[in-house]
Amino acid sequence: MAGQYGAEPAYRKEDFVADGALRDLCVLDTTIEDWRRMFDALRTAPGPHVLTWSLSDTTETDALDASAVWSRLEQDPEESASLAVDVDGVWFTCYFFDIEEIEFTFDPSDVVDEATFAPVRAFVTWLGMSVGREVIVTMEGTDHAAMPALIRWRP
């Protein structure tokens, strides 16, 4: 469905070939307000979520706060965190690389047909509705704005 807006994301087998690379699911040009909306919406996410801190090896699942997460990451350059959401066995994981981009990764080998694409559709839709912004899915990379989108979705 690349380039189509207003429609549900569509499954295309060629986008999910298990080639050793992950797929990135992104909201570009974000601010802390976008992160806050996403964190606030976690209670309605299409699956359970967990935030894991690397140094303390602690996890959190309730009342997560975007500002507190980014503040803690800025205060300690050795600290890192990951937010993982499990949607029917497909894990979407955010590693907080840059406040200007909400980026989740997932393994394309989990998506082998229309039925197993349903979690991707659900997560893309939830994220887009949560932040009120366009969501793109790309191949794994660092310059998502310059990469061709496999999926584009707008609320």
Q: Would you state the pLDDT for residue 10? A: 85
pLDDT at residue number 34: 97
pLDDT given at position 7:
61
Q: CB under 8 Å to 9, separation ≥6 — which residues?
A: 1, 117, 120, 121, 124, 125, 137, 151, 153
pLDDT tens-place string over residues 22-36: 999 999 999 999 999
pLDDT at 135: 97
What count of other Cβ atoms lies within 10 Å of the Cβ of residue 29? 10
Q: In what order do the strands lie in the sheet with 23-28?
A: 59-60, 49-53, 81-87, 90-94, 101-106, 23-28, 135-139, 151-153
Q: What is the DSSP code string of 28-92?
A: ES--HHHHHHHHHGGGG-SS-EEEEETTT--EE-SS--HHHHHHHHHH-TT--EEEEEEETTEEE
Question: pTM of this prediction?
Answer: 0.91
- Low-confidence residues of the chain, pLDDT below 70? 1-7
pLDDT number for residue 61:
85
CA distance 62 to 56: 17
pLDDT of residue 2: 40
Paired strand residues for 138: 24
Closest CA to 91 of 62, 119, 66, 112: 119
Which token pair is 2?
């690349």
* pLDDT at residue number 64: 87
Which domains can be identified in the chain, with CATH numbers?
13-153 (3.30.310)
